[in-house]
Amino acid sequence: MYKYIIRRLLVTIPVIIGVTIVISSIVYMAPGNPARIALGTNADAKAVSNLEQKMGLNEPPHIRYLDWMWGVVQGDLGESIRGGREVTDMISERIVPTLELALVAMVITFIIALPLGVISAVKQYSWADNLSMLFAIFWISMPSFWLGLLLILVFSVRLDLFPISGRTGAIFTLTWLSSLALPAIATGTRRAGLLTRMTRSSMLEVLNEDYIRTARGKGIGERSVIYTHAMKNAMIPIITLIGLQIPLIFSGTVIIETVFSWPGMGRLLVDAVLSRNYPVIQGTVLIYSIIVILSNLFVDITYSYFDPRITYD
């Protein structure tokens, strides 16, 4: 197991390098002069030239990238063009709200999708099955940003039950939960639609296996058959889908954080793109990449829990 984890971590190094090269190339090719944007359109040409030299914009793109990577190896993600703050400090302030939003959104996804998928499979072709599939198709088709705007209109503007935007209160308090509820629901429900369909499909395949019929023939209770025998064996494809959904959840938080003015990394990234703030863009994407890679590693490791035949020796 430990050797497998080490190998996977070593493999992530070229993946992260590849991601940062692609992002850096796109950023460098984007139109607009970051120095001019930072100083304003009326700035003196000499001041713009000095800032370009300080930022290294007069260097070739590959030299800028290598200088940035050397700083990353030393734990330095550079300084923001606007304000001159350390990118590491800016990200450290924003990473916790983003993780809060993503984790709660995933919990909402599981709470909705797993029970609906199991019920839909057990009650195949019933009204419960049809209703669950209608729910799944509806949420798959609903863009998260549009759902977020509808939630704000109904529950914040009309009913005044939740804050319109922002993050308030200490963590795990009712105030914090009320500010987190709408963005987490907007992020989690859309992912629940696809996971519901996958859970149903996987459960139907398992329920038709011989060992399930044998368990029922032995007189084992239906609840035990479903949740002890069938559910555990149906989790492998579900976990695979969860691993694929993790990057989508984090990418979805970029839009949702903007809609709800949530002070996370997604909003920081959007602001950095609009202002051509190269160091912040590169640093934020790097942290996103590391989070997604580690999350998928955790998902792969959980395979062995649900299926003991899977080993990593």
Q: What is the pLDDT along the chain (313 residues), one digit of tens a residue?
A: 677 778 878 888 888 888 888 888 887 777 777 777 777 777 777 777 887 777 777 778 888 888 888 888 888 888 887 777 889 999 999 999 999 999 999 999 989 999 999 999 988 888 988 998 898 888 888 888 888 999 999 999 998 889 888 888 878 788 888 999 999 999 888 888 889 988 999 999 888 888 888 888 888 888 888 887 888 888 888 888 888 788 878 878 888 988 998 999 988 888 888 877 888 888 998 888 888 888 888 887 887 777 666 666 6
Backbone angles phi, psi at 290, to 5 degrees: -65, -45
pTM, to two decimals: 0.84
Q: What is the CATH number of domain 95-306?
A: 1.10.3720.10
**Cα 234 versus chain centre, distance:** 24
**Is the CB of residue 250 less than 8 Å from the CB of residue 291?**
yes
| C-alpha torsion angle, residues 53, 33, 66, 19 (rounded to 10) | 160
In the chain, CATH 1.10.3720.10 sits at 95-306
The two three-digit tokens of residue 255, written as one number: 């839009």
The two three-digit tokens of residue 68, written as one number: 């940035």
Residues ≥6 apart with Cβ < 8 Å to 254: 266, 267, 269, 270
Q: Which of 60, 26, 52, 263 minimizes the C-alpha distance to 165?
A: 263
